Structures are given as C-alpha cells and as structure tokens.
Structure 1
C-alpha cells in the first residue's frame, strides 16, 4: 500500500496526492533533472536518434539559494527579554545546528514551497506516573521537507493537525516512520497526541506493510520509538513554514501547502535552458575546421603530418578536387553569440521579475556587484518580496522558540514562558544599513533618539538591558 492508502485506512484525509507530483516537478528543476526535458533525442535523418543531455543554467537552484540567504542567514538575531530563557534557547538551537540547517531548509522551502520543524524530547527518564525526572532528557529538532508533510486539518491557512514521514534504511531495507500529530480529548483535557507507526517498504520508498511495535523495536532507528505520546498541551509541537505566495498549483483553493518560488515560472526556466544549450551547441558546432587533401596528411617519410588527436584537421576523400578547392582549406563558422546573450539576458529579467526580485537581478555578462544603495533604489520589488516572506518566517521562528521553551520547562528548567521574543532580520543586502546607522547616530547626538533605543536597535539588546547599559531613564535626552 502507498502512504495515501495507509492514511485512508487510518481514516485520515490529507492534501490530494496530485499536489505531491507538483512538488516532485519543482524538485526536479532544482536538481536539474527534469523528465522529458533534461535528456532529449534528435532525429538524424537516417532513422536513428541521438540522445543528448541539455545544458542548464541551473536558475531554479540559484533562485532558491538567493531567497534562503536573504531570509535566514548568520546575521538574523533572535532576542528574548528574559536572559536565562534566551541563553537556554540559543544553546538548543546551537546543539541542533539551526543556523546551518535553518538556512538549508529555507532553500528547500524555496524549491518545494513548504518545510516543517518538529522539536522533541529524547533521553528523558520518567517516574512511575510518567513525569519527566528533572535533569534528564534533551531537546532535538526534526527538519522535514514538503514531500514528507501531510496536513490533516487546517483553518485560514494554518495547519492544526499534520502527519510527517521519515525514511530510514536498516540492513539495506527501507522503512518509513509515520508520525501523526492530532488534537484529542483525554482525561487531562484537550491536548495534542503524537502517534508513531513504522512501515516496511517492499517496492519504492512509500509502499509496504505496517510493522507491529515489537517488530520495529528490533530495528535500531526505532528502538526507543513510542507508539503514543501525550504532550499535555493544546499547543502544537510542530511548526509549518511556507513561502508567502498564494497556492495556485492546486484546484483546492484551501490547500495550506506553499508553492515553489518559481512555480509560475517553469516556462521561463525551460526557455532559458533551451537558449543556454543552443549557445553551447553554437560553439560546439562552430569550431574552426581545416580540410586537408589526402597527400598533405603524411610527410615524405610516411609519418603523420598533423596530430591525429587534433580535431581541427579533417582529411578529404581521395576524389577531392584540389585544383578547385586547393590542398588546404580553412572553414570558420560565424557564431551568433550576441543574439544568444541578448535572449538569455531578457529571460533572466523576466524570471527575476516573476519571482519577486525585480529586474536586473541577474546578468549573463556578470558586469559587477551592485551596492546596497543601488539595490534599494532599483529593486523595490525585491524589498517588498522579502518583507512579505518575513511576515510568515517571523511567526514561525517565534512559535519554534515557544515550543523549545515549553519542552525546556517539562525538563525542569526555570524558564519564562511569557518572555518577549524579538526577531531581527538582516536587511543589509536590500537596505543601506550603514547609511541608516549613520543617520541614527546623528539623531542620538542631536537628542532626537535616546541612546538606549540606538543600542536596542543595533546591538540586539532588549529595552531593559539597553537602558541599564546607558544608565538613563527613558525620557532623558543626550546633549
């Protein structure tokens, strides 16, 4: 049975399977291996076909890299008003390599539309009543791509219940762990319950039989997997992250999954690769040739006159008319380099515009790097696009931090669940930060901006910490 048959058997409805074929298509463009396009055949006119691999600019990969670097990079700061809680969250994110994998999964989000983060507890010891013993346990984070995310229920685009799959290989056999997060009414009240099951794949990564708990306990990756976990909270223990683009790839308008940044630009990606492949063929087919009469191929001693590995020389047949053509004839093919370059540049502008980067983001001639001032003046489309995506990402990061704090409290840590969370995105690429900072310095010197506000803005400090650092009340003006 496939994964959708399994869900049907469990009485679970999710997004239609046809949408996951779209995700596979977007991923194939990202990887540069598109079915019926990357490899193609040419009829030679003699009843045979020549199979060729199309050269690619790899713009789907480039677009995904660029949006990921603009959204989540090493300069993004997550600040909590409670210092103890902030240090705890920072350490958990560091242990789970969030600065590295966070950017990685922003790139995955760009080409697939959706990713998920699932914090969880492990290595925890419990007493007879199921309470976690203080000082035991750690917090991990699972990172999940769109093809393994299956929303179960949602409202206003927010996924409230969801299933996730995790593929594992044990002794050359493939298994899939299915993890389902659902709200249930229990004796302790309404809370999220996480149910786990394991499928053994018979043919393909998503087909096979369901294992019993005793069976999967014999497999190392699932040895400590619990079939049912009651979280004790009505708050979800997963976070869905998607691009802030309306999903028009599915006939179901309520589909909460996101779409790739280039989902509506596939035609342009095709045209770019066709042009680039043609550009490559232009140089391949337009190589210089020198046609040589048979008697010129060898020296008087019978040895080759030219390097046999040099493809520029071509021996003419014995009946070659040397009186008409000469003993040696040079052929130079004209290259249509300018026409190809212009076509590629035009389509790069179309692609950049459709994906929200504005025009002139990419240039085929690589004329140079633009400064931040040029970018903000020429690419206001990109500025608005980044700010739009940051709306969802900011909520995602805050929700992820809240879950980590909640799990930290379960482990016995004294943390502030209500601490204020501030996300400071790095906009230095699309804003002239240095010019803005210089302007703020002048405002501080003339008394238009308090020094504590300057520290909070540029040093990532909370308002309380900034005021304490400068030892001045809120309404004090610096002369």
Structure 2
C-alpha cells in the first residue's frame, strides 16, 4: 500500500506527491548519486559505450554541513529563567541526545528543507481514572520525506501526519501517526502499515496484529493530549518555497534547491579536471627491441601504463628508439572555472562570495570574521528567526509533558536562546567594548553579566556582589542602586 493510497482511503488531504519527488531529488544531490547525471555513457571509438561514474565535489553535502554547524552547535545556549525547570528540560534534552541529533537534523533540514521534533511520553503508569502517575519523555526526530502536513494557516502547520519506518524480521512496517484537532484539542491516532514501498500485498494492520510486533507492543491506538497546542514542532529553512507554484505549500526547500544547475556545472568541471590528469599523464613509446632483456624477460613491468610499444615500421633513425610524450594540462583554466562557480553557488545559497575556494588541496572554507552587513550575516539571522521559535516551542512542549508527569515546573518561565555568533562577531573585541561601556556607566553591570555569563537579567542582578564587582584584573566597579531601581556603575582606579 502506497502512503498516498492510504491517505486517499482515509480521506486525508496533504501536499501533492510530486513535491516529495522533489525532496528525493535534493537527497540524491546530498548523497552524490543523481539519476541521469552521476552515471553516464562514454563512446569507446569501437562502436561500443562504457559506463562511467562522474566524479563529484559533494558541494550539496558541504553546504548542508556548514549551515547546520552555524545554526546549532555546541556554543548555542538555552536558558530558562526558572532554575528547576531549566534543570528538568536540560536533562530531557541530554537523555534524548538533542545536542547531537539536533545538529544532525539541522543538516537534514538543509538538504530536505524540513524536519520535525515530536516529544512523547513512554513507560507510563496510569491510574484507572486516566491520571498519569509516572513515565518518561522521549523525542522523535523526523525528516521531510516522512512529514505530511494536513492543514495549515499562514505557514503554520496545525494538523500533520508523521511516518516512522521499522524493520521486523527483514519485513518493513510503517507507523503512521496523525496529529489532529478535535473540538479544539489535539488527538494523536496511530496506525501500522505493512509492506510499504508500493507492494500490492501491503495492508493496514489491526491493533491486535501490530501488538505482536516488538516495536509496537506498547503503541496506543488513540491518545487525547488534552492540549490546544500541537505536540510536535515543524522546523524549516527560512526560504520561500518556490518548488510548489500555488504558493501554499508549508514545507521548506533545500538550501541548494535553486542552485541545482550550478551543482551540475561544478561536478562536470571537477570530473573534467580529474580526467585532465588521467589522460594527460606521461607516456613513453619504445622500440620493440627494447621491451625485452637478452634472456627474453620483460624489460619493463607489463602492468606499468607509462611504456608503450612503437610500431615495427617506426623510423628509428629519424625519431630514435625512445619517444617521450608529455601532455599539457589545463589546470589553471579548470581551477578558475571551478572557483567562479563556487562563488556563484555560495552567493545563491546565501553565504555571499568567497566562502569557498578550490586549490590543489581541495575545497577550503573561509573562517575569517564576517561583517554584519554581509550576505552571510543576514542569511543566518533570517534562519535563526524560525529556529529560535522552534526551540522555544519544543521546550514548552517538554515542560507541559513534565507537568503531566507530576513535576513542579513553571510553564510561563522565560526562555532565552543564545545563538553562536562567533563567526560573525569578534567576541573578544565586543566583550572589551562592553567592559568600556560598563566603565563609562552607559551599560548596567547586570546587563553585562546576563550577556556574557548566559544568565537572565534577574539571575544576573541576583548574582552581583553587594559591594564590588571585579570586571577585570585591574578594574573594580562598585555598584549602587539608582532611583529608578537600575544599576549605576562608577570606576574607581
């Protein structure tokens, strides 16, 4: 049973199937195995063709890695104002390997356009009246091929179907999880399908059938969340989806979706560059009598591709017994073409120019600090708008599930996401400037501490020493309350 046949049978309307073929195309570029491109036929000159594998620069993979590392890395800091709530959330994130898988799924988001995070409860102990006594919080991760929006408004997906593939005894099963609204509250319905991938024998399993399979033994057919907000978060790149011409598709597009022609051109140039060295290697043609020693043994390694036999009628007196051929390599022309297209690719994907450079050792990535008015700075800030909301929504769902499990958590606590801007800003210079601002009294010390110590302003104010705050080894700054209740700083030398 094909997944779209299942949707049709259930009366579920989702994004057109043609868009998911587009996602598969983007995935093929990421994997470096593109249909009707990565493999091609070359004429041998003898009436036959040979199958060739085109060498690839793998730039779709490189672009995805780079944007993922810039958006969500080990320096991104999540802070929750309530200490108890923060400790609880951080434990859940660590238990679910979010700081590893989060970066992994940012990379998946880059080459598929969309990912989802779906917190859930498991190992629950429930009373007869439905009250949850205990349990654990898990996070399912889902990429674009397994996300099927059902209803949406202004780009926000309000109902959605997710699919999860499982293999039991070499047989494939798909869990279909439908998050939908009923009477203003979310309900989650689970179904298991057998033999997806278009098999005619595929069918929908009953609950009794799927409970015999290990991955689905504890799977509940229907869950009433009791919440008016969804128990999933959709994360996508902040790029307008122009792959669907009606403009209503809420799914995202790959970071290189509009640069496929440039990726093709780069791989053609790189393949030609490689062939230039293969075809341009030195060749030495020798007279037949030099191929054997006096005892008849070969004078040269028969597997050596440098030496070739001259024809018997070769003019030895005029040309000599050995004739050397050195091909001229067009290395500079290839390098220039590749670098030009790397600049164009980088520009089309939002990194600006000069992000990548090709030389004898391969593709290098620029690591210098970039300015705030650059294309890359604006691109990152644009993507962070969506990612910040996504992380906050994910944390709020975790907190709500924690409350369901009976934990004393503050659902209204302020959540702060501090992204890593070290590649954009010179942190040392910025910190020194902030120190000077504090010294001049134009920046409150609590604001400085909140910014550089990853605290909320309330925590920073509470953590300030009563008498003196040592900002630097040489400078002590006493702090006093002004009439408005803020901090007032003065330098004592």
Q: 2:175 aligns with which of 149, 161, 177?
A: 177
Structure 2: distance between partners of 1:370 and 1:76 = 21
**Distance between the aligned counterparts of 1:35 and 1:207, measured in 2?**
28
Cα distance between partner residues in 2 of 1:218 and 1:414 = 37
Residue aligning to 2:157: 159
Cα shift at 1:204? 5.1
Question: Judging changes above 3 Å, is the alpha-carbon distance between structure 1 residues 205 and 255 closer, same or farther for their aligned structure 2 residues?
Answer: farther
Question: Post-superposition shift, 1:402?
Answer: 0.3
1:251, 1:356 → 2: CA distance?
Answer: 22
Q: Note the 1:276-315 alignment, pairs <5 A.
A: 276-315=270-309
**Where do 1:8-47 residues align within 5 Å?**
8-47=8-47
- Alpha-carbon shift at residue 452 of structure 1 (Å): 1.1
Normalised to the residue count of structure 2, the TM-score between the two structures is: 0.93
1:150: which partner in 2? 148
- Kept in 2, the 8 Å contact 1:451–1:478? The answer is no
Equivalent residues of 1:376, 1:432 under 8 A apart:
no
RMSD of aligned C-alpha atoms?
A: 1.6
- What is the match of residue 243 of structure 2? 249
> Could you say which residue in structure 2 is the equivalent of 1:450?
444
Please list every run of at least 4 consecutive aligned residues from structure 1 whose deviation after the TM superposition is greater than 6 angstroms: 366-369
Q: Is the 8 A contact 1:175 1:205 kept in 2?
A: no
Cα 1:295/1:57, change in 2 over 3 Å: same
Helix, strand or coil at the partner of 1:334: coil
Runs of 5+ unmatched residues, structure 2: 467-478
With over 3 angstroms needed to count, the CA separation of the structure-2 counterparts of 1:436 and 1:205, relative to structure 1, is: farther
Aligned position for 1:110? 110
Aligned partners of 2:273 and 2:299: how far apart in 1? 33
Residues 1:275 and 2:269 aligned together? yes
Q: Find the counterpart in structure 2 of residue 397 from structure 1.
A: 391
Is 1:194 aligned with 2:192? Answer: no
In structure 2, the CA distance between the partners of 1:257 and 1:248, relative to structure 1 (3 Å rule), is same
Give 5+ residue unaligned stretches, structure 1: none
For structure 1, which segment, 440-449 or 76-85, has the greater mean C-alpha deviation from structure 2 after superposition? 440-449
Give me the TM-score of the superposition, normalised by structure 1.
0.96
Secondary structure, counterpart of 1:143 in structure 2: strand
Q: By how many angstroms is 1:310 displaced?
A: 1.8
CA drift of 1:202 comes to 5.8
Q: Is the 8 A contact 2:2 2:197 kept in 1?
A: no
Confirm or deny that 1:220 pairs with 2:214.
Answer: yes
Distance in 2, Cα, partners of 1:217 & 1:322: 84
Match of 1:126 in 2: 126
- Separation in 1 of the partners of 2:180 and 2:378? 36
The answer as to 2:418 corresponding to 1:420 is: no
Distance 1:206 1:169 in 2: 18
Alignment coverage as a number of residue pairs: 471
Q: Which residue of 2 aligns with 1:332?
A: 326
Question: What is the Cα deviation at residue 369 of structure 1?
Answer: 6.7
Q: Determine the structure 1 residue equivalent to 2:488.
A: 476
Task: Kindly state the Cα deviation for residue 354 of structure 1 after the two structures are TM-superposed.
Answer: 0.3
- Where 2:380 maps in the other structure, the secondary structure is helix
- State the 1:478 CA deviation: 3.4
Q: Does structure 1 retain, via aligned residues, the 8 Å contact 2:446–2:487?
A: no
Aligned to 2:48: 48
Whether contact under 8 Å (1:194, 1:231) holds in the other structure is yes
Distance 2:489 2:198 in 1: 69
1:59 partnered with 2:59:
yes
Question: What displacement does 1:443 show?
Answer: 1.0
Q: For residues 429 and 139 of structure 1, what CA distance do their matches in structure 2 show?
A: 34
Deviation of 1:441 after TM superposition, in Å, equals 1.0
- Structure 2 residue corresponding to 1:258, chosen from 240, 252, 264: 252
Give the distance between the partners of 1:194 and 1:318, measured in 2 at CA.
83
Give the C-alpha shift of residue 433 in structure 1.
1.6
**C-alpha displacement of 1:203:** 5.0
Contact 1:176 1:206 in 2 (8 A): no
Q: C-alpha distance in 2, partners of 1:196/1:271?
A: 45
Q: C-alpha displacement at 1:101, in angstroms?
A: 0.3
Q: 2:351 aligns with which of 343, 351, 357?
A: 357
Partners in 2 of 1:367 and 1:4 — Cα distance? 41
